[in-house]
Amino acid sequence: GESVGLHLPTLSVQEGDNSIINCAYSNSASDYFIWYKQESGKGPQFIIDIRSNMDKRQGQRVTVLLNKTVKHLSLQIAATQPGDSAVYFCAETANQGGKLIFGQGTELSVKP
Amino acid sequence: NAGVTQTPKFQVLKTGQSMTLQCAQDMNHEYMSWYRQDPGMGLRLIHYSVGAGITDQGEVPNGYNVSRSTTEDFPLRLLSAAPSQTSVYFCASSMYPGQGKNIQYFGAGTRLSVL
């Protein structure tokens, strides 16, 4: 679950395993969602997006699932690699664009 | 193709000083925004612009000013720096969100310390 304050939620996985990162979004009117990856010392990098009229979207090694009933978003990373180690943020927006609201982030650590 | 370029990368200020964080993009994006990121937290929107000559406030605008005289540039001004403004600042840009997408592309950030 989410924690408050200065400590990010963390997920530690073994190289080659699948990772699932969860996000609870706040606005039931949000209709567009994005996952970003942020490596240490860098800006956030776009991974994958999904609109609210979809439940699932797949990219290369990543899948995003959207459950609007419980306002939950997840990012699945297949065959996790050391290069996947980073902080992952979900972001939501309403009205198909405009201001993005970012979640707190989850730190993914991949053990070789 | 440089994308979003932020300068400087690092800055140390004394309380009360003013400065401008620069942001430029070469993708002809209409939408630009500034965020701050504090330890263990997500990004919080400071100001944004949907095109040249148009700016609006985000979640945490106090103490910051912006202007957008060209499509390419979106500077962020700290009027009188305070220790609470110590943070990492990110600029981002995207195509104008009129097609159901708002993929924002981020710069590398400016790390600011206010003493």
User: What part of B 43-82 touches A (C-beta under 8 Å)?
Assistant: 43-45, 48, 58
Buried b (16+ CB within 10 A) or exposed e, B21-54: bbbbbeeebbbbbbbbbeebbbbbbbbbbbebee
CA contacts within 13 A on the Cβ side of A28:
2
Please list the residues that pair with A11 across neighbouring strands.
A108
Residue A81 has phi, psi (to 5 degrees) of: -115, 160
Residue A34 has phi, psi (to 5 degrees) of: -135, 145
The Cα–Cα gap between A90 and A44 comes to 11
Beta-carbon separation of A5 and B40 below 8 A: yes
- Whether A93 contacts chain B with CB within 8 A: yes
Higher pLDDT, B114 or B100: B114
The predicted pLDDT at position A2 comes to 37
* Residue A36 CB neighbour total at 10 angstroms: 27
- Range with the lowest mean pLDDT among A28-42, A93-107, B55-69? A93-107
The predicted pLDDT at position A5 comes to 41
Calculate the average pLDDT of chain A.
Answer: 89
C-beta of residue B51 within 8 angstroms of C-beta of residue B71: yes
- Range with the lowest mean pLDDT among A2-16, B19-33, B45-59? A2-16
For chains A and B, CB pairs below 8 A equal 72
Q: What is the DSSP letter of A9?
A: P
pLDDT digits (tens, 9 = 90+) for A60-94: 999 999 999 999 999 999 999 999 999 999 999 87
pLDDT digits (tens, 9 = 90+) for B32-61: 999 999 987 789 999 999 899 999 999 899
Higher pLDDT, A24 or A3: A24
User: What part of A 51-70 touches B (C-beta under 8 Å)?
Assistant: 51
The pLDDT of residue B75 is above 60:
yes
- Whether A83 contacts chain B with CB within 8 A: no
The predicted pLDDT at position A4 comes to 36
